[in-house]
Every structure is written in C-alpha cells, then in structure tokens.
C-alpha cells in the first residue's frame, strides 16, 4: 500500500511539475541606437519554461497581448467599456513600448527555435535548428546570486558572454540562447548594446500562453524581412482598397443625386477623381513605410538596434 502511495505521489509530482510554468525574469538593458552609444533603455523580459518547451517574451508585449486576448473574449458592450477605461492616462502603463515586438518558442532538447512576429492581425514566423556554438571557459564566479561558469559564443554578428548556473538544471536562456549545462543567469554582447540579468524566479499555475495562429505565414530566416515587408504592403493595399470602396460608394451616392438634376457633368468629375486615385499617387502610397516595424519604439530612440546584426 505504501509503495502504491509512493508511486502515485511521484507520478503526481511529475504531472504537476510538467503542467506548471516556471518564469525566469530578466532585467534587460538595450542601447536603442544602432549608430551612437546613448542612454540604455531597460525593460523586463520573461523566459517561461514548461516541460521541454519555453517562451521568450517581453513583459510589455505579454501585457498588451493578454489584454487584447481578453478584449476578444469579452462581449461587445463590456469590451467597449474596457477600451474606454484603458484609454485613460492613468492606464497608459499597459501599453508601454518594447524592443521585443516578437516572441520566441524553443523546444529545449532539440534546441529548435521558432521566431514569431506579426503584421496587423497576421502572424509570420520562421524556424531554425542551428544550435549556438559555445566555447566553455574555466572561469567561475558568483553572478546574480548564483554560482556560475563562463561561456562565449559568436552569434548574430556579436560576441556574447554568458554566465550559467548548474544549480538550475534548465539548458536555456533569454532570446535564442540555449545549449549550456544550466540556465543562463547573465548574458551580454561585446558591443555593450544588450545585457540580460536574471533577477527573479517565480512559479505560475496559470500563465498566459502566447497563441500561435494555424494560418500563420511560414518563412525562412533569410527571407523573413522580405516576406514581412510583402505582408505589410498587402495590408496597406487592402486598407486602401476598403477606403477606396467606401469613398467610391459616397461619390456614387452624391453623383446619383446630381444626375437626377440633369447629368450636369457629375459623371466626368467622378471619373477624374477615380483616375487620380488609381494613378501615380495610389502607386506611391503602396510602398511600405520605412521603419514600420519600429512604430512601438519611442521616437527618441533613433535607429533601432537589432539584436542580430545583418
């Protein structure tokens, strides 16, 4: 009987530990300007580990996405009220900008990484399985409260220094970094643009899980920026088309009113407007706006500094 209870207890712990999420909170510092060394911007990023899978996401994006998800589930009247409440100045903190407008899902054992971004309501992603190649060092010291060891890697045009601890048996870390015999508790690049410091670990019973769309557009790392720009262009064209149809409907309504008075040139004027709308001006407006992906970054940040250099 005792053996059965013991076996049940072990099974219960295994299921419980797999179902719960462990969140590792990093204080993340970013130099926002790709050209100049300016004052570092700081925000919190999360590494949520559940079983053999992890999610890397910024706190500000997670808040924004979870609020958006709750809006979609609420009834129309309630949603209108919430949108009105969240638009008040005192609630602006819910929509703080982030330097990480994407999220990353990792399958830890395979070191398989899926990078998700979004254009309008459409997700676009790519998957890669090229593990980070680490060079292990003999240096060991205490970092952020943990006994840690040093490792370095060349990744994304930067040399990264990681400090990992074997006290936390999770072969993972912030952003795309994983593959060390323990959790990364500190990570920084040689240019001084990015730094991740583990500040806290919490257990979550009901964490918000970033949804992935079944119709998300699959791309590759090489083609990702081009495919994303094509999605932005398609979105802009659709918006223009909808606006044009609405405008054409109003023009037809007005033209019909004028025609009832005796066809006083209204058809010709309407045709002229249509030519101007579909001519040079319409074509120019079809091109993607520069830095459209940076719309959530404060204007004072200048040129956004990519974590992976091209």
Domain boundaries, the chain: 20-225, 229-301
pLDDT of 251: 59
Strands 183-189 and 158-165 turn out to be antiparallel
- pLDDT level of residue 304 (50, 70, 90 thresholds): confident
pLDDT of 270: 42
- pLDDT level of residue 291 (50, 70, 90 thresholds): very low
The DSSP letter of residue 205 is S
pLDDT tens-digit series, residues 167-218: 999 999 999 999 999 999 999 999 999 999 999 999 998 777 778 999 999 9
Interatomic CA distance for residues 112 and 105, integer angstroms: 8
What are the b/e assignments for 18-56, b being 16+ CB within 10 Å?
eeebbbbbbebbbbbbeeeeeeebebebbbbbbeeebbb
Strands 122-128 and 194-204 turn out to be unpaired
- Which is more confidently placed, 52 or 263? 52
Percent of the chain surpassing pLDDT 70: 66
Name which of 45, 108, 99, 133 is nearest 307 in CA terms.
99
CATH architecture of 20-225: Clam (2.50)
pLDDT tens-digit series, residues 204-260: 987 777 789 999 999 999 999 999 999 999 989 888 887 766 655 555 545 555 544
Name which of 188, 193, 187, 159 is nearest 173 in CA terms.
187
pLDDT of 8: 38
User: Mean pLDDT across the chain, nearest whole number?
Assistant: 77
Average pLDDT for 288-299: 37
- pLDDT level of residue 287 (50, 70, 90 thresholds): very low
pLDDT of 173: 98
Whether 168 contacts 198, CB under 8 Å: no
pLDDT of 275: 37
pLDDT of 88: 45
Residue 268 scores a pLDDT above 60: no
Across 118-127, 243-252, 292-301, least confident range: 292-301
pLDDT tens-digit series, residues 70-104: 666 555 555 555 555 544 444 444 468 899 999 99
């Amino acid at each position: 009987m005792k053996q059965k209870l013991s076996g049940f207890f072990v099974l219960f712990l295994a299921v419980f530990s797999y179902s719960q999420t462990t969140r590792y909170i990093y204080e993340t510092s970013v130099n926002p300007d790709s050209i100049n060394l300016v004052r570092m911007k700081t925000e919190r990023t999360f590494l949520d580990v559940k079983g053999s899978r992890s999610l890397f996401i910024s706190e500000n994006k997670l808040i924004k996405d979870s609020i958006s998800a709750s809006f979609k589930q609420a009834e129309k009247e309630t949603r209108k009220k919430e949108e009105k409440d969240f638009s008040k100045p005192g609630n602006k903190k819910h929509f703080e900008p982030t330097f990480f407008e994407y999220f990353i899902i990792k399958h830890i054992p395979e070191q398989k990484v899926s990078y998700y971004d979004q254009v309008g309501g459409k997700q676009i992603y790519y998957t890669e399985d090229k593990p980070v190649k680490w060079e292990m060092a003999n240096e060991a010291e205490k970092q952020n409260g943990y006994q840690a060891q040093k490792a370095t890697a060349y990744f994304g045009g930067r040399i990264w220094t990681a400090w990992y601890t074997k006290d936390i048996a999770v072969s993972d870390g912030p952003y795309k970094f994983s593959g060390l015999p323990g959790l990364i508790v500190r990570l920084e690049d040689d240019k001084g643009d990015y730094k991740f410091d583990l500040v806290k670990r919490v257990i979550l019973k009901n964490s918000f899980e970033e949804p992935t769309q079944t119709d998300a557009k699959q791309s590759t790392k090489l083609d990702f920026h081009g495919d994303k720009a094509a999605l932005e262009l398609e979105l802009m064209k659709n918006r223009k088309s909808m606006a044009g149809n609405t405008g054409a409907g109003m023009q037809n309504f007005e033209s019909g009113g004028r025609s009832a008075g005796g066809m006083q040139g209204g058809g010709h004027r309407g045709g002229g407007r249509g030519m101007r709308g579909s001519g040079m001006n319409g074509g120019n407006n079809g091109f993607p706006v520069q830095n459209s992906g940076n719309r959530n970054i404060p204007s004072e940040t200048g040129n956004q500094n990519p974590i992976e250099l091209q």
